[in-house]
């Protein structure tokens, strides 16, 4: 839909979006009431994280040229009350990183690994969707914490990326019909932590290979999208091995964002954490970009570049 955007009113800021984030949770918001965020409304733009540049400001806290984060409808140019915007201090980082490693997906990896699983040095951590936005951050934060990391992803390009970022053992699950057996070979003494981005067969393989008192972080279950729900058939193992399975939602942990961004900024600038991104261009490419997440066509963070 094309509309005219008038000059901003007093207290408003006009923003031109530069980058839009494309995230798996958006698919769940297309189901009636099935998500932890309210469903999208028919006839309204999809909403999501975006980084933009202030064009005109009628608020004393913002100036033209400021970089801002918003969580509004997918759009190129808009006026909004200043309270809906968060200023970004890029501090030498590319602005789109605040939608990826230095933003919500990075914080998700950090919280899951460091707060929920409380990963310790020498532990063996298994990560699924390991070449994605959250997964690649989880792998590298685990490596920084001195863990041994096993990463699973689909296809040789992603496996190559995992090797580049220093993942100790890689599994191309699309070429591994018996995932539990492949994981057993990669971790003969079992895994201490499973960072679950996908659910389904990966979760079953992780249960089968967990050490006693292992921790399973339930971050997402993208493999179960648009399928009749399939519970792990071997969940009973959680009893005999005294496992802890814990889900979490990153939005409960936003108070940690500022500290995390500072730490992540240091890791990125010192080269300890690397990133990839998959960039589609133009707002018209956004629906196809969203579908790519479910076909595994993204490496690293999926983004739409607008300007």
Ligand X SMILES: NC(=O)c1ccc[n+]([C@@H]2O[C@H](COP(=O)([O-])OP(=O)(O)OC[C@H]3O[C@@H](n4cnc5c(N)ncnc54)[C@H](OP(=O)(O)O)[C@@H]3O)[C@@H](O)[C@H]2O)c1
Q: Contact positions toward ligand X, by CB under 6 A?
A: 23-25, 105, 108, 129, 131-135, 153-154, 158, 197-198, 219-220, 222-223, 248-250, 293-294, 296, 298, 302
* Cβ 105 vs Cβ 134: under 8 Å: yes
Q: CA 182 to CA 177: how far, in whole Å?
A: 9
CB of 276 to ligand X, least distance (A): 10
Name the nearest CA neighbour of 137 among 180, 108, 168. 108
219 or 273: CB nearest ligand X: 219
Is residue 303 within 8 A of residue 279, CB to CB? The reply is yes
Residue placing its CB nearer to ligand X in the complex, 40 or 294: 294
Closer residue to ligand X in complex, CB, 216/302: 302
Distance CA 2, CA 73 (A): 14
Strand stretches in the chain, DSSP E: 12-21, 50-57, 67-70, 77-81, 86-88, 124-127, 148-153, 169-172, 191-196, 210-218, 244-247, 277-281, 301-305
Taking the least distance from each CB to ligand X, the nearer of 54 and 158 is 158
Cβ-contact 242, 212 below 8 angstroms: yes
Report the phi/psi class of residue 62: left, alpha or beta, with left for phi > 0 and alpha for psi in -120 to 50: beta
106 contacts 273 by C-beta, under 8 angstroms: no
Q: Which two tokens stand for residue 254?
A: 């936003």
Which of 27/241 has CB closer to ligand X? 27
Comparing CB distances to ligand X, the nearer of 16 and 230 is: 230
| Residue written as token pair 């006026």 | 79
- Between 38 and 43, CB nearer to ligand X: 38
In angstroms, give the least distance from the CB of 31 to ligand X.
Answer: 13
| Residue 88 or 222 with smaller CB distance to ligand X | 222
Long-range Cβ pairs for the range 268-271 (8 Å, 24+): 268/93, 268/97, 268/101, 268/102, 269/92, 269/93
Q: Shortest gap between Cβ of 151 and ligand X (angstroms)?
A: 9
Whole-number minimum distance, CB 222 to ligand X, in Å? Answer: 4
* Nearest approach, Cβ of residue 145 and ligand X (Å): 19
What is the C-alpha to C-alpha distance for residues 19 and 96, in angstroms, rounded to an integer?
6
Q: Which is nearer to ligand X, 115 or 242 (CB)?
A: 115
- Closest distance of CB 263 from ligand X, Å: 18
How many CB atoms sit inside 10 A of residue 287's CB? 12
Closest CB 249 distance from ligand X, rounded Å: 4
What minimum distance in Å lies between the beta carbon of 259 and ligand X? 18
CB of 27 to ligand X, least distance (A): 8
Record the tokens describing residue 204, joined without a space: 């079953």
Strand partners, 21: 303
**What number of other Cβ atoms are within 10 A of residue 30's Cβ?**
13
């Amino acid at each position: 839909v094309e509309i005219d955007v008038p000059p901003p009113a007093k207290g408003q800021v006009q923003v031109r979006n530069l980058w839009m984030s494309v995230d798996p949770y958006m698919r769940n918001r297309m189901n009636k009431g099935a998500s932890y965020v309210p469903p999208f409304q028919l006839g309204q733009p999809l909403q999501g994280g975006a980084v933009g540049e202030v064009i005109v400001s009628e608020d004393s806290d913002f100036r033209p040229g400021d970089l801002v984060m918003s969580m509004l409808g997918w759009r190129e140019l808009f006026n909004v009350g200043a309270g809906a915007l968060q200023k970004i201090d890029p501090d030498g980082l590319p602005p789109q990183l605040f939608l990826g490693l230095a933003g919500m997906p990075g914080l998700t990896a950090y919280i899951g690994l460091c707060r929920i699983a409380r990963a310790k040095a020498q532990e063996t951590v298994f990560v699924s969707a390991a070449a994605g936005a959250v997964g690649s951050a989880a792998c590298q934060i685990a490596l920084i914490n001195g863990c041994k990391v096993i990463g699973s992803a689909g296809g040789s390009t992603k496996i190559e990326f995992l090797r580049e970022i220093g993942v100790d053992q890689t599994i191309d699950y699309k070429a591994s019909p018996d995932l539990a057996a492949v994981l057993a070979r990669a971790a003969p003494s079992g895994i201490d932590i499973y960072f679950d981005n996908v659910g389904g067969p990966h979760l079953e393989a992780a249960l089968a290979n967990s050490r006693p008192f292992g921790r399973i972080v339930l971050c997402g279950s993208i493999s179960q999208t648009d399928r009749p729900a399939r519970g792990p058939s071997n969940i009973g193992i959680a009893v005999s091995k005294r496992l802890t399975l814990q889900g979490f939602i990153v939005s409960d942990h936003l108070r940690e964002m500022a500290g995390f961004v500072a730490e992540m900024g240091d890791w990125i600038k010192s080269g300890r954490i690397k990133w990839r991104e998959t960039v589609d261009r133009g707002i018209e490419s956004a629906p196809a970009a969203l579908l790519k997440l479910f076909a595994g066509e993204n490496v690293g963070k999926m983004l739409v570049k607008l300007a």
